[in-house]
Amino acid sequence: MKYFTNFTNYLAIAGLVFSLAACGGGSSDSGGGAPGTNVTLSTNNIVFTYAIGGAAPAAQTLSVGFSGDGLVIGYAPGVSEPAWLDVRQADSSDNISPVDIELSVDTGTLTVGTYETSVRFATGDINGNNVSFRDLTVTCIVTNQLTVSQSQFDFTHTDGASVAPERQTLSIDGEGINWTANSDQAWVTLSASSGTAPSSVQLGVDPAGLSSGNYTAAVTVADSSGGNSENVTVNLTVEPHKLFVGDNGVAFATFPTAPSVLTHTVTVSENAGASIPWTASSNSAWLSVTGGGVTDGALTLTADPSGLATDTIHFAEVTVSSGDVTIINDEAITVGFYVSGTDPTATELGVTGRYLVSDPVRPYVYVTNNGATVDIYNIYTGALVNSVTAGVELKAMTVAGSGETLFAIDGDDNSIVPIELSTLTVGSKWPADNFAQINAMLEYTRFNGKGVVISNRREVFAANTGMQVTTVPHPFYDNIILAAAEDGASFFVLRPGVSGLIDLLRYTGDYSTVNDAYSVEQTHALNRSFGNARDIAVNKDGSKIYTADGGEYAFPTFSFDGDAIAEGTVLAANPYPLAVELGPTEKLYGGINAVTGGTDAWSYNVDDSADNTYVINGRLHDRQVRISGDGLRMITLSDFPALTFSTVTP
> What is the CATH classification number for the domain harbouring 315?
2.60.40.3170
Predicted confidence at residue 83, as pLDDT, reads 93
The rounded distance, in Å, linking the Cα atoms of 320 and 282 is 9
| pLDDT, position 2 | 45
> Strands 292-294 and 213-223, how do they pair?
unpaired
Contact 418, 427 (CB under 8 A): yes
In this prediction, what percent of the chain has a pLDDT beyond 70? 94
Report whether 590 contacts 583 (CB < 8 A): no
**Which tops the pLDDT comparison, 435 or 598?**
598
pLDDT at residue 25 above 80?
no
Mean pLDDT, rounded, for 216-238: 95
CB 335 within 8 A of CB 303: yes
- pLDDT of 189: 98
Same domain membership, residue 393 and residue 249: no
Residue 489 has pLDDT above 60, yes or no: yes
Give the domain-ending residue among 143, 172, 206. 143
Catalogue the long-range contacts made by 316-319 (C-beta closer than 8 Å, 24 or more residues apart): 316/282, 316/283, 316/284, 316/286, 316/287, 317/282, 317/283, 317/284, 318/280, 318/281, 318/282, 318/283, 318/287, 318/289, 319/280, 319/281, 319/283
| pLDDT at residue 436, as a whole number | 56
Residues 553, 415 share a domain: yes
Q: What is the pTM of this model?
A: 0.81
For residue 463, what is the domain's CATH number? Answer: 2.130.10.10
Longest dimension (CA), the chain: 121
Instruction: Let me know whether 177 and 278 are in one domain.
Output: no
Question: In terms of domains, do 282 and 214 share one?
Answer: no
Residues 624, 570 share a domain: yes
**Whether residue 59 is found in the same domain as residue 168:** no
pLDDT recorded at residue 36: 83
Backbone angles phi, psi at 18, to 5 degrees: -65, -35
In 3D space, the residue among 428, 387, 424 whose CA is nearest the CA of residue 404 turns out to be 424
Pick the residue with more confidence: 269 or 477? 269
Q: Give yes or no: residues 209 and 268 share one domain.
A: no
Domain that holds residue 103: 2-143
CA atoms within 13 A on the CB side of 509: 33
Angle among Cα 498, 501, 505 to the nearest 5 degrees reads 85
Q: pLDDT for 261-312, tens place per residue?
A: 999 999 999 999 999 999 999 999 999 999 999 999 999 999 999 999 999 9
The answer to whether 173 touches 164, Cβ cutoff 8 Å, is no
Residues 128 and 161 in one domain: no
CATH number assigned to the domain comprising residue 166 = 2.60.40.10
Q: Is the pLDDT of residue 616 over 80?
A: yes
Residue 356 pLDDT level (bands cut at 50, 70, 90) = very high
CATH of the domain at 46: 2.60.40.60
For the segment 447-456, the average pLDDT, to the nearest whole number, is 95
Q: Are residues 478 and 351 in the same domain?
A: yes
Is the separation of the CB atoms in 325 and 310 below 8 Å? no
Q: What is the pLDDT of residues 344-355, one digit of tens each?
A: 987 999 999 999
Nearest to 333 by CA among 249, 232, 267, 390: 249
Last residue of a domain, one of 190, 222, 239: 239
For range 325-349, the mean pLDDT: 95
pLDDT at 17 over 70: no
Phi and psi based region of residue 128 (left: phi greater than 0; alpha: psi -120 to 50; beta: remaining): left
Per-residue pLDDT for 10 more than 50? no
The model's pLDDT over 64-84, given as tens digits with 9 standing for 90+, comes to 999 988 889 999 888 999 999
- Per-residue pLDDT tens digits for 137-173: 999 999 888 999 999 999 999 999 999 999 999 999 9
Q: Is 18 helix (H, G, I), strand (E, B) or coil?
A: helix
Please tell me the distance from the alpha carbon of residue 184 to that of residue 58, in angstroms, as a whole number: 34
Task: Please say which residue of 339, 355, 373 terminates a domain.
Answer: 339
- What's the pLDDT band for 7 if we cut at 50, 70, 90? very low
CA trace torsion 607, 613, 619, 623 (10° rounding): -20
pLDDT tops 90 at residue 474: no
Smallest Cα–Cα separation from 314: which of 264, 351, 363, 263? 363
pLDDT band (50, 70, 90) for residue 8 = very low
Q: How far apart are CA 268 and CA 417, in angstroms?
A: 31
Number of domains in the chain: 4
Q: What percent of the chain has pLDDT over 90?
A: 81
Shared domain for 139 and 152, answered yes or no, is: no
Please state the φ and ψ torsions of residue 433, each to the nearest 5 degrees.
-80, 175
- Indicate if 321 and 265 belong to the same structural domain: yes
Kindly state whether residues 460 and 602 are assigned to the same domain.
Answer: yes
175 pLDDT above the threshold of 90: no
CB 506 within 8 A of CB 492: yes
- As a dihedral over the C-alpha atoms of residue 78, residue 79, residue 81, residue 82, rounded to 10 degrees, the angle is 130
